[in-house]
Structure 1
Amino acid sequence: MRRITRFATVGIASAALALSATACGKTSSDAASDSGDVKAAIAYDIGGRGDQSFNDAAYAGLSKAEKELDVKGTEAEPSDGEADADKVQRLTSLARAGNNPVIGVGFAYAPAIEKVAPKFPDTTFGLIDDSSVQGENIANLVFNEEEGSYLAGVAAAKVSKSKTVGFIGGVETPLIKKFQAGFEQGVKDTDSSVKVLSQYLTQPPNFDGFVKPDLGKAAAQGQLDKGADVIYAAAGLAGSGAIEAASKADKWAIGVDSDQYNQKGLAAYKDNILTSVTKDVSGAVFNLIKSVKDGDPQSSEIRYGLDKNGVGLAESNPAYTKMTEVTEAVAAAKKNIIDGKIVVKTTP
């Protein structure tokens, strides 16, 4: 079994590692060749591993690479209230330790990768959910979240009996607005009489909306009180609170990023998780690691949409698969998006 080394934050020990590597004049590629091992690292977004969503999907890709590619994996957890400087130090330490690729999970790593990547030209840096920072050794792993969210909107409009559905965004950022835009468009294109209640949990620079389930639970309860019978939350760990609230009210929840019906931490609520908008983050992470190991590292923008099954709707809940009218409507919408007959908006 391959072993994963975990460290919670980058402090004095990591700084010492960086200094010792500099003193010896070694680059990341030197370190890798010394050990004879292929090593890859992922630095988690806010919430860390165990969020039952985005970060866990990235971990799944690393875990698959360990098993199938004989890669040694390292995970780096974020610290509470950290600044960009902390991310810079974390990525620097991972690169100096010989990891290649080094993958930042989430758009928050963009400023750090912009600073660190030029210092390690022989190391590939993966940046998930952001293409604003580019370079010869940067692979921008991005997704058409709006397309998957459109399909969720179709499903929500089809199953809603109250003609009211809800969208909860964790933090109001351009990325999460893509989820909102696609969902609202999918609902309205399917049934213009269905009302969509949309709200955000926090505003930048407060990112609690991605990590505090109680915020998601309270927001979902408010929407349920207003008659919503389907709630779609794009809010990371906070979304688990929304799923809990919907389940306890015996209404439908729609998960995000991972197939949340199959997440162990949400097992108590799975019967009420109609479907999930999936992003193949695990596949993107695995593909990047494989490309580096194969000697042909990915770079520039690698986009995953419906056409590549990079986004989509999970079909794990047997109740969902039995809803023929719903699944047929979703399948038709998917085809029309791929064929270009439906253009999904990226802003509400």
Structure 2
Amino acid sequence: MVKPTKWLPVVLLIALAATSACGSPIPEAKYSGVNAGAVLAPGGDSDNGFNDMTIAALGRAHHRIGVGIKRVTLSQRGDERAQRLNQLADQRYSPVIAVGDKYAADLSDVASQHSRTMFAIVDCPAPRAENVVNITFAEEQGSYLMGVAAARKSGSGHLGFIGGSSDAHTRRYQAGFVAGARSVKPNIAIDVQYLAGQPGVSSSDGRNSPTAARGIAAQMLERGADVLYHAAGSSGLGVFDAVVTARAQGNRGVWAIGSDTDQQLVTTPEQQKIILTSMVKRVDNAVFAFLADYSAGKATGGVRLMTLAGHSMDFAASGGYLVKYKLIAELNRVKQAIVDGKITVPTAP
């Protein structure tokens, strides 16, 4: 394969990934013969989420193990997914990494046309093929930590969980959250609602309905829930808005918890004040681990489940509230107990 001539621009995350603990640059590794391409989700870089974490993983792989790298972006329409995947495969990049579940259908077709190319898709269990690696996450483990944090912070003994759709994937968040909360307070009340199928929300739109989420969250708060955890994509912004409004109306003890990325980084200043923590999928570590295994000839097609043990999931402390309320030490103890197998987290409610 020909070494790519177009390299990633220098961004902060890559600069950090290529710097040693003492601040000096890590020498660029000898070219490994592997060329990795990535197609980002619509919006490109600077999303403070999966795109930026994937870029960081590519930069780390380039500097540490000599992987050639290239990434391409989509327009906001996102209707050129198959074109971009084919572009990288035709240019003999392998592996080709697709960021996000919206690539699933296109990747199924493209992978079948490029059987000698290895593909990977981030945070999606489909499609299944010999030349597709599905990088997935044990959401129940991270959600267990969120349940512990929520139960510790709750003054009312009443929590809420809001999911996008009631599928097996989202129910893992619910299962972990409920188990974590009840490990702290066995009798704690937990309201559970799913957005898909609610009035005005189609079965496929549960993760993109912030108005409906705001209404459900407001009802939970009125019934006495004081910490709400969402697993509902952009609908979660409605949950945050409801908690902000409740605070403004004098309900000072209410909080929200985010999921998938550090939601302190993608919300308004007012919303940041009510986000206790977030369950974070460390896509940077997950993608780098995959690239390291692929470069060593160890990667095969199929589901690759990333867990707390692989440092591919964590809790976010960026808001400062876990420090303020002295929750970090306990969360770290619980995390280690899960890693050590002392706590088994359920995957279904």
Asked whether the two chains share a fold, i.e. TM above 0.5, the reply is yes
Answer yes or no: is 1:125 the counterpart of 2:119: yes
Once the two structures are superposed, what CA deviation does each residue of 1:117-140 show, in whole Å capped at 9, x if it has no partner? 132123221122344544342212
Q: Classify the secondary structure of the residue corresponding to 1:298.
A: coil
Task: Determine which of 80, 89, 94 is the counterpart of 1:95.
Answer: 89
Partner residue in 1 for 2:259: 256
**After TM superposition, where is structure 1 displaced by more than 6 Å over at least 4 residues in a row?**
none
Number of aligned residues? 305
Q: Classify the secondary structure of the residue corresponding to 2:268.
A: helix
Query: Structure 1: where are the runs of 5+ without partners?
Result: 5-35
Write the distance in 2 (CA, Å) between the matches of 1:248 and 1:171: 25
Partner residue in 1 for 2:51: 59
Q: How does 1:68-107 map onto structure 2 within 5 Å?
A: 68=60, 69=62, 71-76=69-74, 79=77, 91-96=85-90, 98-107=92-101
Task: Determine which of 281, 286, 309 is the counterpart of 2:311.
Answer: 309
Relative to structure 1, the CA distance from residue 37 to residue 285 in structure 2 (aligned partners, 3 Å threshold; closer, same or farther) is closer
Match for 2:146: what amino acid? A
Relative to structure 1, the CA distance from residue 96 to residue 212 in structure 2 (aligned partners, 3 Å threshold; closer, same or farther) is farther
Report which stretch shifted further, 190-199 or 239-248: 239-248
Report which stretch shifted further, 268-277 or 294-303: 294-303
TM-score (norm 1): 0.76
Q: Is the 8 A contact 1:65 1:71 kept in 2?
A: no
RMSD: 3.2
Q: CA offset at residue 175 of structure 1?
A: 1.1
Answer yes or no: is 1:216 the counterpart of 2:206: no
TM-score (norm 2): 0.75
Q: How does 1:60-209 map onto structure 2 within 5 Å?
A: 60-65=52-57, 67-68=59-60, 69=62, 71-76=69-74, 79=77, 91-96=85-90, 98-107=92-101, 109-131=103-125, 133-203=127-197, 206-209=203-206
Q: CA offset at residue 196 of structure 1?
A: 0.7
Report which stretch shifted further, 117-126 or 227-236: 117-126
Write the distance in 2 (CA, Å) between the matches of 1:211 and 1:125: 27
Relative to structure 1, the CA distance from residue 78 to residue 169 in structure 2 (aligned partners, 3 Å threshold; closer, same or farther) is farther
Q: Is the 8 A contact 1:58 1:285 kept in 2?
A: no
Match for 2:331: what amino acid? V
Partner residue in 1 for 2:232: 235
The structure with more helix, counted as a fraction of residues: 1
Once the two structures are superposed, what CA deviation does each residue of 1:12-41 show, in whole Å capped at 9, x if it has no partner? xxxxxxxxxxxxxxxxxxxxxxxx995622
Match for 2:203: what amino acid? N
Relative to structure 1, the CA distance from residue 37 to residue 188 in structure 2 (aligned partners, 3 Å threshold; closer, same or farther) is closer
Write the distance in 1 (CA, Å) between the matches of 2:258 and 2:75: 23
Answer yes or no: is 1:277 the counterpart of 2:279: yes
Relative to structure 1, the CA distance from residue 290 to residue 308 in structure 2 (aligned partners, 3 Å threshold; closer, same or farther) is closer
Partner residue in 2 for 1:225: 222
Write the distance in 2 (CA, Å) between the matches of 1:273 and 1:121: 44
Relative to structure 1, the CA distance from residue 76 to residue 102 in structure 2 (aligned partners, 3 Å threshold; closer, same or farther) is farther
Answer yes or no: is 1:323 the counterpart of 2:320: no
Match for 2:56: what amino acid? K
Relative to structure 1, the CA distance from residue 136 to residue 205 in structure 2 (aligned partners, 3 Å threshold; closer, same or farther) is farther
Partner residue in 1 for 2:37: 40
Q: Is the 8 A contact 2:240 2:275 kept in 1?
A: yes
Percent of residue pairs identical: 32
Q: Classify the secondary structure of the residue corresponding to 1:299.
A: coil
Partner residue in 1 for 2:244: 247
Match for 2:161: what amino acid? F
Q: CA offset at residue 207 of structure 1?
A: 2.8
Q: CA offset at residue 163 of structure 1?
A: 1.1
Q: Classify the secondary structure of the residue corresponding to 1:342.
A: coil
Write the distance in 2 (CA, Å) between the matches of 1:99 and 1:244: 43
Relative to structure 1, the CA distance from residue 236 to residue 318 in structure 2 (aligned partners, 3 Å threshold; closer, same or farther) is same
Once the two structures are superposed, what CA deviation does each residue of 1:30-85 show, in whole Å capped at 9, x if it has no partner? xxxxxx995622253xxx44899xx85321133225655363211235758x8xxx
Q: Is the 8 A contact 2:34 2:94 kept in 1?
A: no
Q: CA offset at residue 345 of structure 1?
A: 0.9
Once the two structures are superposed, what CA deviation does each residue of 1:193-217 show, in whole Å capped at 9, x if it has no partner? 2111111111597332212322322
Report which stretch shifted further, 234-243 or 196-205: 196-205
Q: Classify the secondary structure of the residue corresponding to 1:242.
A: helix
